[in-house]
Structure formats: structure tokens, C-alpha cells
């Protein structure tokens, strides 16, 4: 089944021993269009710190009630590598993150999640880390994996493959023969966490309406011009069936 990504934003995150915070954003991989991390605002629990949670750490999502249950404890999250959200998330940081949680590197393999099709299967292949820490802390020098020299910062920008769903929301849609609307939301498979379709708002055009376009029709994201280029004509998009708010996908927030 597929769900709108906006449904998970604002959801409360529950570790096995208590609440962590709320989802404020998601990072997806621009090559395979899979959601790799939830960005969680921890509020007063960690003095306003934001943390990344991999779907591999998710036990169950109640999409309608806005609740995400994890298979890890609060201490595990507290001691996780700190992320610098003013910079792109680098492979260097992701390697530290994977090592800390004991997850394989999802980008090493031919499947969506490395050698697995879903984050649940991907996470279950961890053999080097327990799901709880027993009070064990992560080495501070490694936890600050996002820090470094100016040169290393430049490398992080160059090798980053992750993009913020919040940043991309509102990007214009560039068809093969012109601009038509903007992206309003993503539809994701709730098992694989892969983007299935994008919701396009064409209301700025005469007779405009919200329509869905499959991910396979996306050519690329033009970050400089804040556009998503698609392999479809403006007429094809105009002729697409109108998306109706109340559907089997569930109501969007």
C-alpha cells in the first residue's frame, strides 16, 4: 500500500521506552527515490536537538493516528552521531551512522536497501550492534562526524545523495514542452519507503487540478532552478485523472 509522505510529518516518535519527538522532515535518496531518514525534532528531551531515524529502526507506523513506533530505545538515539543540518548529509556521516547502529551500507548493493528490498529486512541483517545500549555511549570524536575542515565540508557537498522532502516541496514541474504546476506531495510505498508517485498541483493553469505522476516519468531534479523535470508533455499531465482528496490512500494532512 502507498501513503502520502505528508501524513508522517508531525507524527510522534515512540522508542521502546518512551517518546523521542516529532517528525519534521524526511530525507530521500535522489537516485533511487527511497526515504532514507526521518528528521525528528526532540524538543526539550535533548534540548531541541534534531536526530535522524532510519526506517530500519521503525517497527510500525500508524499513518492515520500519526504515531511511529521504533525498535530501539531512547539511549540509543541520544548517543547517535550528531548531524549538522546546515550542511548536506554526506556519505562520511552515513557510514558513521550505519556503523553506530550496526546497519549495512544501503548504497552498497543492487537492491533498494543494499541487499534487501525493505528497510525491515535491511535492519534485520545487522550482526554487530544490539538494539539497546545498556547505557553505553557512542565515542564523541566519531559522533561529531559532520565536523571537519573546509576541504572535508566541500567533499560532503559533492558526495551527498540525500535531499530534503521539505525543500523539494513546491519545486516547479518542467514538462518536455514547458512548465506546468508544482510538486505538492510524495506517495511512498509503506513497506519499501520508495516514492511511487508525485502529486502535482496544476491549479495555476486554466482548468488546473491536482494529478499524480509515476516516479518512472521523472527525468531529474534541477536543483539550481528548483525544478523537477519529467518525461511527459504538458498536455499529458493536463489529461491525467484528477486526484480526489479522500481516496484509499488516506486523507492527507
pTM: 0.84
Distance, first Cα to last Cα, the chain: 18
In this predicted structure, the answer to whether residue 87 has a pLDDT above a threshold of 70 is yes
At 247, the pLDDT band (50, 70, 90 cuts) reads low
To the nearest 10°, the Cα dihedral for 40, 46, 49, 50? -10
At 160, the pLDDT band (50, 70, 90 cuts) reads low
pLDDT in tens, 214-241: 999 999 999 899 999 999 999 999 999 9
Going from N- to C-terminal start, the domains of the chain cover 2-165, 167-238
Q: What angle do CA 74, 13, 33 make, to 5 degrees?
A: 110
Q: What is the pLDDT of residue 40?
A: 96
Query: Helix 150-159 to helix 91-101 angle, to the nearest 10 degrees?
Result: 80
The CATH number of the domain covering residues in 2-165: 2.30.30.240
Q: Judge whether 2-165 and 167-238 match in fold.
A: yes
Q: What is the pLDDT of residue 184?
A: 93
At 83, the pLDDT band (50, 70, 90 cuts) reads confident
The distance of Cα 109 from the centroid of its chain, to the nearest Å, equals 19
pLDDT in tens, 139-157: 433 433 443 333 444 444 4
DSSP reduced 3-state for 190: coil
Compute φ and ψ for 250, nearest 5 degrees.
100, 160
Q: What is the pLDDT of residue 52?
A: 97
In this predicted structure, the answer to whether residue 94 has a pLDDT above a threshold of 90 is yes
In this predicted structure, the answer to whether residue 132 has a pLDDT above a threshold of 90 is no
Q: What is the pLDDT of residue 170?
A: 87
In this predicted structure, the answer to whether residue 171 has a pLDDT above a threshold of 70 is yes
If you average pLDDT over residues 29-43, what whole number do you get? Answer: 94
At 250, the pLDDT band (50, 70, 90 cuts) reads low
C-alpha cell at 3: 501513503
CATH 2.30.30.240 fits 167-238, yes or no: yes
Amino acid at each position: 500500500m502507498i501513503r502520502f509522505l505528508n501524513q508522517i510529518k508531525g507524527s510522534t516518535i515512540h522508542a521502546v521506552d518512551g517518546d523521542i519527538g516529532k517528525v519534521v522532515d524526511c530525507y530521500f535518496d535522489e537516485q533511487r527515490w527511497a526515504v532514507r531518514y526521518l528528521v525528528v525534532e526532540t524538543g526539550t528531551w535533548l534540548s531541541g536537538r534534531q536526530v535522524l531515524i532510519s526506517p530500519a529502526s521503525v517497527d510500525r507506523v500508524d499513518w492515520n493516528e500519526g504515531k511511529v513506533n521504533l525498535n530501539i530505545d531512547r539511549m540509543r538515539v541520544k548517543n547517535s552521531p550528531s548531524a549538522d543540518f546546515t550542511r548536506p548529509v554526506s556519505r562520511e556521516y552515513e557510514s558513521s551512522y550505519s556503523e553506530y547502529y550496526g546497519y549495512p551500507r544501503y548504497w552498497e548493493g543492487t537492491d533498494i536497501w543494499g541487499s534487501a528490498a525493505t528497510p525491515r529486512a535491511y535492519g534485520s541483517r545487522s550482526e554487530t550492534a544490539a538494539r539497546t545500549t545498556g547505557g553505553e555511549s557512542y565515542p564523541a570524536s566519531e559522533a561529531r562526524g559532520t565536523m571537519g575542515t573546509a576541504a572535508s565540508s566541500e567533499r560532503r557537498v559533492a558526495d551527498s545523495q540525500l535531499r530534503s522532502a521539505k525543500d523539494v516541496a513546491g519545486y516547479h514541474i518542467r514538462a518536455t514542452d514547458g512548465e506546468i504546476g508544482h510538486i505538492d506531495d510524495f506517495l511512498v510505498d509503506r513497506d519499501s519507503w520508495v516514492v511511487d508517485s508525485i502529486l502535482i498541483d496544476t491549479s495555476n493553469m486554466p482548468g488546473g487540478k491536482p494529478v499524480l505522476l509515476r516516479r518512472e516519468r521523472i527525468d531529474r531534479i534541477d536543483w539550481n532552478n528548483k525544478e523537477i523535470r519529467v518525461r511527459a508533455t504538458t498536455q499529458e499531465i493536463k489529461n491525467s485523472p484528477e486526484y480526489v482528496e479522500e481516496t484509499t490512500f488516506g486523507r492527507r494532512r
